[in-house]
Amino acid sequence: MGKRQKDPKKLGLGTIIVWALPGMSMAAEMMLFGQISLFCTSILGMPVALIGTLMVASKVLDCFTDFVIGYIVDNTNSRWGRGRPYDFCMLGSWFVVVLIFACPQNFSVAGKCAWIIVLYTIASSGFNSLYGAATGPFMVRAFNDNDKYVKLNAYSGMISMLGAVAMNLVLPQLLSDHGSTAAGWLRVVVMIAVPMAAISLIRFFVIKERYHVDARSEHVAVKDIFQVLRTNRFIYPIAIMMMMTSIVANFGIGTYYYTYVVGDLGLASLTGLMQIVGLPAMLLVPFLSRRLSLRGVMCVGFVCCGISYIINWFAYDNVPLLLVAALIGTVGAFPTSMLSGVMILQCADYNEYKHLPRMEATMSALPGLTGNIGTALGTFIATVLLAIGGFVSSTDGLYYEQPDSAILTLRLLMSFVPLALYAVAFIAVRFYRLEDQLPRIRQEIEKRRASEV
């Protein structure tokens, strides 16, 4: 009996886990970023509206840096490859996150503002933008197979989600136990940062870039960036979708809601259990994407998220109903987190078809830019609305009773505000029509590559 041949399209579990580790680390970091406003209002005594303004101000820099970062990555040709070296950015990012939560309490308000905005900008607009821009180029040169891209994003996405799930389970409890002092906050952050920074480096040492996928020289000129943005209209629905989902994801309202509406921050960890319950649904995403297309699966996900936000409004402080909504919302969020990267690689295929550089990093720069802006806007919108609602900040770690107007604002931020934003995302993704052309595009690309061998 002959030796069994290995399926070239099959991804081993070990490969999927290793690929997912930096994503797991990033998910944990994003959860901590979502707590910056709570830290600033309850420990540093900063006005709630000021926090949102700082987050938006830090993202102004992204208007200038994201495409520069994409240009840098697209022109990287190191001994380790194009995207792979940037995995080390996660190490720098976690170091800066620790510094953010080490902000001295005795600083003036201006000093605290400077500390938060400078470090947040370095982490988000610097290290995280470099890592995000490099992920696509790394993937396409490590695997070079569209089916693998979908499977890798889907299955590794499920593993990466465990980072967010673990944080949802652990963080509320840790903050409930230690979050009444600045030292306690810093202790919690260090406990999370050290292991997350360590696991984010494993992928660099295990997975290598092995394929040259370009049908033409890949030196990218500045004019190529502008030409691609003029030519490739398919990237814009992705960018709008990423902005809307990032705004909602960065409201950071869960801890506020369970503290002031439900009345028990510790119960917020139960939402993490709902994410665990919902994880098996991620296994259906590759199957559904073949039946409904990526666009169709995402639209189904947005509908599920909309249903969850409607339930949140009627649930009020009913924890079982809130958990049902969390489960539905978790399942609905999977397609966007798992498949948006595949859409970006499809846009790179379109660039090559149009005789342009593939520019995977630049293609991720525009959604990365709008996603980063969404990250800031999420905090800004939430904090400004809370300020309008009369939210009361503190400097002693205590949680004061809030007025009815602030409670109403919290309820709206858990229901109809995100519902409206997801409606915009739903409409945007309906305009993504590139998938219909991909079979013909890829056939032409393969012919062109073969002729240049």
Q: Which of 136, 201, 149 is nearest to 16 (CA)?
A: 149
* Confidence at residue 21, expressed as pLDDT on a 0 to 100 scale: 92
* Confidence at residue 212, expressed as pLDDT on a 0 to 100 scale: 76
What average pLDDT does this structure show over 355-373? 79
* Confidence at residue 396, expressed as pLDDT on a 0 to 100 scale: 53
CB-based contacts of 161, cutoff 8 Å, min separation 6: 24, 27, 275, 279, 282, 334, 337
Lowest mean pLDDT among 104-113, 326-335, 390-399: 390-399
| Phi and psi, residue 78, nearest 5° | -95, 175
DSSP codes joined into one string, 233-286: TTHHHHHHHHHHHHHHHT---HHHHIIIIIS-GGGGGHHHHHHHHHGGGGGHHH
* Confidence at residue 166, expressed as pLDDT on a 0 to 100 scale: 75
* Confidence at residue 90, expressed as pLDDT on a 0 to 100 scale: 94
What average pLDDT does this structure show over 113-137? 88
d(C-alpha 389, C-alpha 49), whole Å: 11
* Confidence at residue 215, expressed as pLDDT on a 0 to 100 scale: 46
* Confidence at residue 162, expressed as pLDDT on a 0 to 100 scale: 73
Tens of pLDDT, residues 5-29: 455 557 788 898 899 999 889 888 8
Lowest mean pLDDT among 42-56, 238-252, 413-427: 42-56
Lowest mean pLDDT among 28-32, 60-64, 280-284, 336-340: 60-64
CB-based contacts of 425, cutoff 8 Å, min separation 6: 240, 241, 244, 245, 302, 336
- pTM: predicted TM-score of the whole model, two decimal places: 0.70
What average pLDDT does this structure show over 407-420? 95
End-to-end CA distance of the chain: 36
* Confidence at residue 310, expressed as pLDDT on a 0 to 100 scale: 97
Tens of pLDDT, residues 93-114: 999 999 999 999 889 988 998 8
Q: Are 207 and 19 in contact (CB under 8 A)?
A: yes
Tens of pLDDT, residues 281-309: 777 777 777 787 888 889 999 999 999 99
| Phi and psi, residue 336, nearest 5° | -65, -45
d(C-alpha 147, C-alpha 138), whole Å: 16
> What 3-state class would DSSP assign to 353?
helix
* Confidence at residue 7, expressed as pLDDT on a 0 to 100 scale: 53
